[in-house]
Amino acid sequence: MTRILSFARQPLVVALVLIALLLYLGQTLSPGFASGGQVLRLLIVASLLGIVAAGQNVVILGGREGIDLSVGGVVSLSAIIAGNVMNGADSGIVPAILACLAAGAFFGLLNGLGVTLLRIPPLVMTLGMLGVLQGLLVVIRMGIPSGRAAPGLSSFVTQPLAAGIPGIIWLWIAIGVLMAFMLHRTVFGHRIYAIGSNEHAAYMAGVPVRLMRVALFMISGMFAAIAGLCLLGYSGSSFANVGEQYTLASIIAVVFGGTSLAGGKGGYTGTMAGAILLVILQSILTTVNIDESGRQMVFGATLLLLMMFYGRGRAMRA
């Protein structure tokens, strides 16, 4: 009995059960909600969030109040860069990918250096960086048009690639497998958990803590950049602050996936389920016929309710 109970309380299981329940609820509220095509559309949206959350996930796992509030800015920036580099031509896709990755890595590097060398708390550093990125977006937007997605990129994101499933979902699955491999089978992954659960002990054991932390922020920047690129493919052209919503949503996806904000505990598989859960919830609220205010109130209340299932803090004991 206890074994069943502890299995049922695993975050991944909780998330999957909730996903099934929400799909059922959606299907009852508006028939066709859980149809194949609709689920694929949901998964495309979830994969965009999930890719951002992958970077957020490693930063949070790395501990010391690790968090990256600048991901939303990087997503927006990357969408603009990609749109201008490719400007509607398939030949521009590879240069666009390289340019986006470079930009993401650069801002991640700045975040990482601020956090390690100057020992600025990640929340403060990445919050400041978000302000810089938002300013940069205004500068870029005044100077040049927002650009267009190449047809190749758009079809990769929205059209079936293999087995009737769009390329971006395959990409997300690949990222999921890679993340699981990296976190659980490589030295790098083990070191993330090590610095996340006890930085000092990890340092004493010879883990290059600072280097690791800089790398985590760079990974986060690059995942956000990939998501920005895919987002451009999804919407065709970028618009102001398209990435803003991803900042806090990615943190929520990580939390719903069972990763503790204190670091050192959790994984990416749960985060993927968390991203799907969040997107389904939003989608149900859009199909239900209530106005914006009611939708937001229900969304906020449901988020609170769902959080009750996950990693609540321990009660104080003497």
Give the residues lining the site for another protein (CB under 8 A): 65, 67, 69, 114, 118-121, 123-125, 127-136, 138-139, 141-143, 248, 251-252, 255, 261, 291-301, 303-304, 307-308, 311-318
Min dist. Cβ of residue 185 to another protein (A): 29
* Closer residue to another protein, CB minimum distance, 76 or 233: 76
* Structural tokens at position 72: 């939303």
Map tokens 């991803």 to a residue. 246
CA distances from 12 to 58, 171, 275 (A): 17, 21, 11
* Closer residue to another protein, CB minimum distance, 77 or 153: 77
* Closer residue to another protein, CB minimum distance, 194 or 255: 255
DSSP state, 166?
E
* Closer residue to another protein, CB minimum distance, 215 or 252: 252
Min dist. Cβ of residue 199 to another protein (A): 14
* Closer residue to another protein, CB minimum distance, 104 or 114: 114
Q: Are 191 and 63 in contact (CB under 8 A)?
A: no
* Closer residue to another protein, CB minimum distance, 162 or 318: 318
Q: Are 69 and 216 in contact (CB under 8 A)?
A: no
Min dist. Cβ of residue 310 to another protein (A): 9
Count CB neighbours of 261 within 10 A.
15
Min dist. Cβ of residue 198 to another protein (A): 17
- Closest by CA to 162, choosing from 176, 180, 174, is 174
* Closer residue to another protein, CB minimum distance, 56 or 78: 56
DSSP state, 265?
S
DSSP state, 90?
G
Min dist. Cβ of residue 37 to another protein (A): 29
Min dist. Cβ of residue 126 to another protein (A): 10
Instruction: Give the separation between CA 54 and CA 297, rounded to whole angstroms.
Output: 28
Q: What is the DSSP string of 125-149?
A: HHHHHHHHHHHHHHHHHHHS---B-
Min dist. Cβ of residue 14 to another protein (A): 15
Question: 209-235 and 93-116 are packed helices; what angle lies between their axes, rounded to 10 degrees?
Answer: 140
The three-class DSSP label of residue 161 is strand
Instruction: Give the separation between CA 178 and CA 196, rounded to whole angstroms.
Output: 20
* Closer residue to another protein, CB minimum distance, 16 or 127: 127
Instruction: Give the separation between CA 136 and CA 201, rounded to whole angstroms.
Output: 39
Q: What are phi and psi of 204, to 5 degrees?
A: -65, -30
Min dist. Cβ of residue 100 to another protein (A): 20
